[in-house]
Structure 1
């Protein structure tokens, strides 16, 4: 099956072997009904998720993924896969870390989206809104990845996530892809953004070609966001699925007007963690954008040319709260979301450097601040 950039996905079916003759299970099989016997020997369908490369010290312990997936399961129930087995031993048969999960029914929404009727697409929009609104209720005073879960002794179905800070490292992987180096601390949104910037600046000081200018600029933008009321101190951090696109949704078609959600996939810690509120309140703009624009958030507020997409956008705006639309559409929050991605993952290659400069330039178009231009000018002169 088609996998992602980090994991290979394999569908497997396990058929129980019939009992050997003249054994107790064999005798017992004659005493069971045909229906029970058939059920006991029906193939069980699973998903094998294995790492695409050999594990290294930079890789996130897959137990983080298991903890995140388990936490998501407490929120959404059976539409989230559950882990049957985790094997991290380097000498296992695959020579890779892997998990075995149950396989969920349904069709991939990404594959069938073009063929859906407008009524079915509207139904899908309502489903997406419901999923995101449910995620909006899961809040913590800390930002970071879920490292483990603590079950409450008197309520075993309820869990408390143990949150680790996003890791900052100089390796070639993203910041959330390495073992988190410290427990997360309760902070305001402004404090978190400033602290992440500080951690990256410390690393830049140890590099011969260190570039601290973007981080200083991000500090200026963060303070401006705070001073202008965009990131108030009472905002919490929200549990986000940052890859909540149709390729990670399974559905079943009920009729010409309705579909049902049967699976929410890809809860890897790389994409599912606690983020600032402005990240959680991003618009599901893929609903009214063509596939080639699904990642271009800048078109989120634009009115589509296609009548069907215009209707989907208008219906989402009718259903979404005013607060959600404000966080989704205001350019300051769009810039903040781009800035958060670099504050979380770091600036590691030329593409990241170009994005950092673009963020600063776009902010300058909104609010001219000489300090931003000076920060880059001073760095270049050094």
Structure 2
């Protein structure tokens, strides 16, 4: 105990620095339509302990799980988290010895904002499969704690911190050669995903072993819950071997039967719209593929190697990853070749008005030929390097945007009035 108290005192300076210096976030949320970078403090929004107080608990945890007998020092860095997790950086510096120089290791501590949301076994299963199919590194887990019996009184996930800068911040400063370098790596990632088709949709089963390919991975049905979080289909169960068409229709049947009564007519209309869309396009007649769920620049880390090369050092935030139909899994990364996506919200358009391209608007324009010469080269580079007519068929298919939106509704439910209005418009078109 005396040694721990001495170590705590020796780290007071690190704690003070951490509380004063809030570095840029590598897991930042998307920019708002107004261009504001302001976000509400988690202390207020989630009723969390203020960071200035909480960091003492984090330091104690860090000393417990990272420190050793070499008198290493630990620094704490506050990172802006996502909707599900509070995120904190830990920097462990081991002093130099006669045998080796000083060593610095960086980690990320992910703490669920609500303990009831802690589902780390599933997170681990998602990361395990992502590491298998991804040609780009994914976060490596060091320690998982599912109980509250620890200094921070919460479950947590400790991961190695992947070095690099957010692509969202870095891209505007890249030259064309560097952008093409990033594009080729993303095309390679899509090639890797294409190589792992499966016959069931859902999420990896954390209780079963992931066997070497070509063994099919163990897959659970994707959860189906009402607005109160209660399961409509009972305990988690093994996913059935069925086509995306059959899987989605079975979920629609559950929504129509068990969702709140006043939404039943909307679900019936959506079910008919789904049948009409699939009958005319066949977009849900495919196998299932691994789908990130939020493959956006904010979730990619990069490092500049030279004036011609940029390395993607990691892909973050696999929390929504699952096995999805090809039309969903192969949604094109069109932000690569759509210059308007990278404009600041406050940049005026030619008519003097402010304008901002949302991710929904981006998807609608995915298949269009860019008007900018650099963007044309980037799009052509992605398609040529991908070398997969199969992927491109689903990426740019007519009505693919409607298919992806409909898929999300059938997967997650009609979460609010705006989603219901979009559902009506989709059904009117089909």
Q: Say whether the fold is shared (TM-score over 0.5).
A: yes
Q: Residue 91 of structure 2: which of 7, 10, 13 is its match? A: 13
Corresponding residue for residue 416 of structure 2: 349
Please point out which of 243, 249, 252 is paired with 1:188. 243
1:243-282 alignment, distance < 5 Å: 243-268=294-319, 271-282=320-331
Contact 2:127–2:318, Cα closer than 8 Å, also in 1:
yes
Moved more, 71-80 or 41-50: 71-80
Give the C-alpha shift of residue 122 in structure 1: 1.1
* Unmatched runs of 5 consecutive residues or more in structure 2: 1-78, 343-355
Q: CA deviation at 1:191?
A: 0.5
Instruction: Give secondary structure in 2 for the equivalent of 1:15.
Output: strand
For residues 197-256 of structure 1, the C-alpha deviation after alignment (integer angstroms, 9 at most, x for no partner) is 01111222xx3x4312232233223333443351475x2111111211121112221211
Contact 1:201/1:215 (<8 A) preserved: yes
Whole-angstrom distance in 2 between the partners of 1:237 and 1:337: 14
- C-alpha distance in structure 2 between counterparts of 1:187 and 1:55, whole Å: 34
Once the two structures are superposed, the pairs formed by residues 227-242 of structure 1 within 5 Å of their partners are: 227-228=279-280, 230-231=282-283, 233=285, 235-242=286-293
Aligned residue number for residue 107 of structure 2? 46
User: Which residue of structure 2 aligns with residue 295 of structure 1?
Assistant: 359
Structure 2 counterpart of 1:368: none
Please tell me whether the aligned partners of residues 328 and 334 of structure 1 are also in contact (alpha carbons under 8 angstroms). no
Q: 1:338 to 1:173 in 2, by over 3 A?
A: farther
CA deviations 1:324-378 (Å, max 9, x no partner) are 33312223222111100011100122122122112213x23xxxxxxxxxxxxxx
Deviation at 1:101, TM superposition (A): 0.4
Which residue does the alignment assign to 2:192?
Answer: 134
Q: Cα RMSD over matched residues?
A: 2.8
Aligned to 1:163: 219
Report the alpha carbon displacement of residue 130 of structure 1 after superposing the two structures with TM. 0.7
CA contact under 8 A between 2:200 and 2:323: conserved in structure 1?
yes
Deviations 1:33-58 (A, max 9, x none): x3x343xx523211111112x222xx
User: Cα deviation per residue 1:69-118 (whole Å; 9 max; x = unaligned)?
Assistant: 12212334781111111112134332332100011222221111000001
Structure 1 unaligned runs (5+)?
19-28, 365-382
Matched, 1:335 2:368: no
Within 2, Cα distance between the matches of 1:256 and 1:168?
Answer: 48
Q: Does the CA contact (< 8 Å) of 1:151 and 1:158 recur in 2?
A: no
Query: Whole-Å Cα distance in 2 between the matches of residues 327 and 220 of structure 1?
Result: 22
Show the counterpart of 1:311. Answer: 377
Distance 1:6 1:158 in 2: 33
Conserved? CA contact 1:145–1:163, under 8 Å? yes
Is the Cα contact below 8 Å between 1:46 and 1:103 reproduced in 2?
yes
The verdict on how the C-alpha distance between 1:78 and 1:13 changes in structure 2, with shifts beyond 3 A counting, is farther
| Offset, 1:323 | 3.0
Which of the residues 164, 172, 192 maps onto 1:114?
172
Structure-1 residue corresponding to 2:257: 202
What CA distance in whole angstroms lies between the structure 1 residues aligned with 2:135 and 2:84?
Answer: 25
Contact 2:293 2:318 in 1 (8 A): no
Deviation of the 1:161 alpha carbon: 3.1
Report the counterpart of residue 224 of structure 1 in structure 2.
Answer: 276
Q: 2:35 aligns to what?
A: none
Give the paired residue count: 333
Q: Check the 8 A contact 2:143/2:159 in 1, yes or no.
A: yes
After the TM superposition, which residues 96-107 of structure 1 pair with which residues of structure 2 at under 5 Å, given as runs? Answer: 96-107=154-165
Partner SS for 1:101: strand
Check conservation: 1:108, 1:250, Cα contact below 8 A: yes
CA offset at residue 119 of structure 1?
Answer: 0.9
Secondary structure of 2:403 counterpart: helix
**SS of aligned partner of 1:13:** strand
Match of 2:334 in 1: 285
What SS does the corresponding residue of 2:218 show, helix, strand or coil? Answer: strand
1:92 & 1:310 partners in 2: Cα distance?
53
- Secondary structure of 1:293's match? coil
1:150 pairs with 2:206: no
* Structure 1 equivalent of residue 347 of structure 2: none
